[in-house]
């Protein structure tokens, strides 16, 4: 039985596809190249190159093609696969620039052994990726999920909103640090983000009537220096964000009408629109299920025999878009009270006697994302939604 299986595997690896299949296991120091080629009898070869050395990687591909040609008399193309990770997409783009077919796979979608102590090494992972690539090229359904690599310009546009989020988090840390230092001295009414923060610091006194200790005041002064730098950077980033949206209004490739349609809806500000467009709505989706799955808002059923239950949303998607949609869902209920989505939400919560608000708002976020996608792509007006006044 084993001999028959190995023979079938050799046939599938060696003759079904006229190509050399290569997987790349990437790390900072080394890249492990695992390959199988026609005429190799289904065997996989492994070779390491220095991490980041694209010239050495291309030279390895040339060697594989030369050896395969010497063995079979035919020059075969190279098809590669790699996991999406820390290296981003520059390797994928470099391979495509050298006329090499490249695929980037979601590592969570690759099937692995469910044993509690399964063996895991780079060699085993490389072989598994090669087998996954073969199955994918054979057309097997749901064998893995390939990543749709964005264009460099689309990827770069995300930087602004993501940088602003990091700066806001750092601002919160410095503000809380200053408030904590002052609260220990009996002061609780100081606001570090106000424009008169320096003047008010000089006039502060402790809760027992003493002047603010000098070392505490100097530490707070240095915290204010860092806070003011962050405030200036946030202003610069927000200006770049607004300028980018305005520039897209005059661009033929950025779908400016869609951005303007989002900005006209009550409850959607510039930051929400920038995140919605930059993180998700600029992509092409075939149906509403793909939209919900991309944001990780698709349901995860668990069904086996008589067991049938819902595990909640999958969370296997764009976390930034998912978080933004849940925040927007709460704002939608507040600013769009007459919309059909808000009426559905309130009726659902009322039917549960006011319980399960959190799970229902997640369902509303999924419905709202699909409705916004239909609105910007097909012009389907959200029922009952109100627009901003001019």
Radius of gyration of the chain (CA): 28
Percent of the chain with pLDDT over 90: 66
Residue with tokens 């007006």: 381
Q: State residue 366's pLDDT score.
A: 95
114 vs 19, which has greater pLDDT? 19
Of 6-10, 335-339, 368-372, least confident by mean pLDDT is 6-10
Give the tens place of pLDDT for each residue, 317-326: 899 999 999 9
Nearest to 144 by CA among 112, 96, 100: 112
Which fold is adopted by the domain 2-138?
Nucleotidyltransferase; domain 5 (3.30.420)
- DSSP state, 85? S
Task: Give, in degrees to the nearest 5, the angle at Cα 65 between 99 and 60.
Answer: 80
pLDDT band at 66 (very low <50, low <70, confident <90, very high): very high
pTM over cut 0.75: yes
CB atoms within 10 A of CB 215: 8
CA–CA dist 15, 74 (Å, integer): 12
Give the tens place of pLDDT for each residue, 82-121: 999 999 999 999 999 999 999 999 998 998 888 888 888 9
Residue with tokens 């792509």: 377
Give the tens place of pLDDT for each residue, 176-233: 999 999 999 999 999 999 999 999 999 999 999 999 999 999 999 999 999 999 999 9
User: Does the structure show a pLDDT above 80 at 390?
Assistant: no
- DSSP state, 281? I
pLDDT band at 16 (very low <50, low <70, confident <90, very high): low
- DSSP state, 149? P
User: Does the structure show a pLDDT above 70 at 153?
Assistant: yes
Percent of the chain with pLDDT over 70: 93
Q: State residue 6's pLDDT score.
A: 40
CB atoms within 10 A of CB 97: 10
Length of the chain: 390
Across all residues in the chain, what is the average pLDDT? 89
Nearest to 372 by CA among 307, 242, 285, 245: 285
2 vs 72, which has greater pLDDT? 72
Give mean pLDDT, residues 62-86: 93
φ/ψ bin of 388: left (φ > 0), alpha (ψ from -120 to 50), beta (otherwise) = beta
256 vs 378, which has greater pLDDT? 378
User: Does the structure show a pLDDT above 50 at 14?
Assistant: no
Q: State residue 247's pLDDT score.
A: 66
Q: State residue 248's pLDDT score.
A: 54
244 vs 26, which has greater pLDDT? 26
- Helix-strand-coil split of the chain, %, nearest 5: 55, 15, 35
User: Does the structure show a pLDDT above 80 at 257?
Assistant: no
pLDDT band at 1 (very low <50, low <70, confident <90, very high): very low
User: Does the structure show a pLDDT above 50 at 277?
Assistant: yes
Nearest to 148 by CA among 89, 90, 108: 89
């Amino acid at each position: 039985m084993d001999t028959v299986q190995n023979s079938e595997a050799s046939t599938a690896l060696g003759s079904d596809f006229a190509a050399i299949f290569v997987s790349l296991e990437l790390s900072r120091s080394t890249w492990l190249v695992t390959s199988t080629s026609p005429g190799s009898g289904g065997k996989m070869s492994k070779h390491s190159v220095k991490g980041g050395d694209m010239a050495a990687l291309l030279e390895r591909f040339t060697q594989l093609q030369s050896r395969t040609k010497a063995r079979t008399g035919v020059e075969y193309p190279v098809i590669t696969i790699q996991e999406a990770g820390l290296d981003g997409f520059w390797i994928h783009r470099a391979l495509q620039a050298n006329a090499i077919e490249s695929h980037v796979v979601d590592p969570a979608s690759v099937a692995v052994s469910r044993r509690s102590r399964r063996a895991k090494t780079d060699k085993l992972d490389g072989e598994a990726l090669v087998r996954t690539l073969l199955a994918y090229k054979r057309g097997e359904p749901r064998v893995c999920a390939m990543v749709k690599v964005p264009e460099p310009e689309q990827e770069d546009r995300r930087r602004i909103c993501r940088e602003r989020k990091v700066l806001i988090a750092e601002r919160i840390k410095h503000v809380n640090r200053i408030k904590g230092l002052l609260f220990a001295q009996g002061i609780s009414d100081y606001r570090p983000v106000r424009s008169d923060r320096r003047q008010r610091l000089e006039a502060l006194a402790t809760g027992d009537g003493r002047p603010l200790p000098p070392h505490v005041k100097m530490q707070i002064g240095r915290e204010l220096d860092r806070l003011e730098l962050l405030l200036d950077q946030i202003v610069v980033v927000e200006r770049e964000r607004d300028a980018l949206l305005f520039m897209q209004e005059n661009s033929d490739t950025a779908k400016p009408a869609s951005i303007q349609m989002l900005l006209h809806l009550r409850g959607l500000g510039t930051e929400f629109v920038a995140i919605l467009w930059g993180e998700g709505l600029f992509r092409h989706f075939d149906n509403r299920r793909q939209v919900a799955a991309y944001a990780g808002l698709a349901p995860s059923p668990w069904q086996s025999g008589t067991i049938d239950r819902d595990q909640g949303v999958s969370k296997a998607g764009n976390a930034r878009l998912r978080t933004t949609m849940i925040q927007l869902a709460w704002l939608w209920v507040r600013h769009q009270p007459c919309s059909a989505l808000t009426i559905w939400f309130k009726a659902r919560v009322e039917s549960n006697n006011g319980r399960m608000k959190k799970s229902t708002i997640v369902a509303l976020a999924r419905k709202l994302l699909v409705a916004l996608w239909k609105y910007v792509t097909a012009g389907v007006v959200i029922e009952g939604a109100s627009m901003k006044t001019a």
